[in-house]
Amino acid sequence: MSDPLDELNALSRSGHDVDDWRRERIRAAAHRELGGPSPVKRAWDRFLEPGLLVALSAASLLWALRASAAILVG
């Protein structure tokens, strides 16, 4: 019996593909995503959202510390 790897090569020529509608839908969806996110979205993801999170966390921590101190000091 011949090598199954050589025989499998027959399947590479069968050329199965998605139908035309799906093919173009995928292409259009990918085109919309090309080039990565917009500069505004990138700035939001990289700086604004993490910055906002840090600021809110710091404010909550400060508030908690002050509240604890007020109770302890009387």
Partner 1 sequence: MRRLREGDREAFDVVYDAYRSRLFGFLARLCGRRDAAEDLLQETWIRLARTAHRLDPDTRLGPWLFTVARNLYLSHRRWAVLDLDRLTELSLWPGGSIPSPSPFEHAAGSELERRLEAALASLPVVYREVLLLVGVDGMSPAEAAEVLALRPDALRQRLARARGMMRQRLESTT
Q: How far is the CB of 50 from partner 1 (least distance, A)?
A: 19
Q: Which stretch binds partner 1 (CB under 8 A): 31-39, 43-51, 56-64, 66-74?
A: 31-39
Residue type, 6: D
Complex with partner 1: residue 34 or 71, whichever CB lies closer:
34
**Taking a C-beta distance cutoff of 8 angstroms, is the pair 45, 37 a contact?**
yes
Q: Which residues bind partner 1 (CB under 8 A)?
A: 1, 3-5, 7-12, 14-18, 22-23, 25-27, 29-36
